[in-house]
Structure 1
Amino acid sequence: MELSSTMQKYVLHWGEMGTRWGVNRTVAQIHALLFLANEPITAEDIAETLGVARSNVSNSLKELQSWGLVRLIHLAGDRRDHFLALQDVWEIFRIIMEERKRREIDPTLTVLRECMREADHDAALESATKKKMGQVLDFMEMLTNTYEGYKRLPPSTLKQVIKMGAKVAKFTTSAENKAK
């Protein structure tokens, strides 16, 4: 597969951003390539296009499939496996958010809750420290509850909520300034 200079720039940058988000560079590049592609691609073509080892492509595709961002498809008359990325950016965003919550936020909340329960019986823990731990737990639970409410919204409604966000912040800031 031949990449235009713009596609190549996009794929390379997505790989770089992936590393900043804690995602393997090749995984992110493959996702970008499959997202931009207008037809399913074989693992061999991915390896050749990106100049990476076939084994790396295989492992990366398994990771993307485990997230639900890429699916395996078969084409009539071709025995090779082809791969296609999810194309709806709102669905991609939803899946990534849900997976990150499941893999990162949920375990953190579990440990924070355990720490707060244990804090009641930890005589060596200062009350100021316990208070800080409670603030972090409250913050994380607030974010999680907000996410749980938003994730059920249809994309059209979520777009409106996001667009309104800056207006609400400006209105709230203005109202706070007037109250002072």
Structure 2
Amino acid sequence: MITDTAAVRGAALDAVAAQRVYRSALEALSRPGTVHPLPPSGYPAALLPVLALADLDTGTHLVDLPGDAWEPIVEVATGAPVVEVHAARYVTVLDPAAAADAVAHAHPGSAASPESGATVVIAVESVVGGDPVLLTGPGVAGELLFAPRGVDPAIWTIREGRVADFPAGIDLLFVDPDGGIVGVPRTTTATTTTR
């Protein structure tokens, strides 16, 4: 559990780190399935996108690991309001066991307002070495296998339903403890496969 109030007050990323996170997240979503580096920090790597991208007008929702309490740090560092998962623009899932539920309830936006669709950031054991999915679509040269380790396979079926009404939909960012970030935006088709 996080109890250091100084850590809560000093949690904001500096401008250089925030810019690096922004660039890596943008590259990850522009080039689905490819690994991009996040800068080192004193926080779980999966927190970095919300720390860099959320602001006063951006609802956030955080699913902590049992016993952790990162939500106050995110709230103070970003000034972003904490909301229920279905209303959040950024959903951060530090507990992999809760990822499928978060994907199922994340807000997909609408055809008239696709930009309000959520970005769901999911902490994974690794962005390589797991069960592969085949990615195709814009930003992918032909097709690409993406194999995150520590991901509930149900996520892919749930995601398919959440992106069915394009341009509405959700975008996914997978982040491992070493700071590798991989994007699967709503424009990407993800097909489960076997090794």
TM over 0.5: no
TM-score by length of 1: 0.28
Structure with the greater alpha carbon radius of gyration: 1
Higher helix proportion:
1
Higher strand proportion:
2
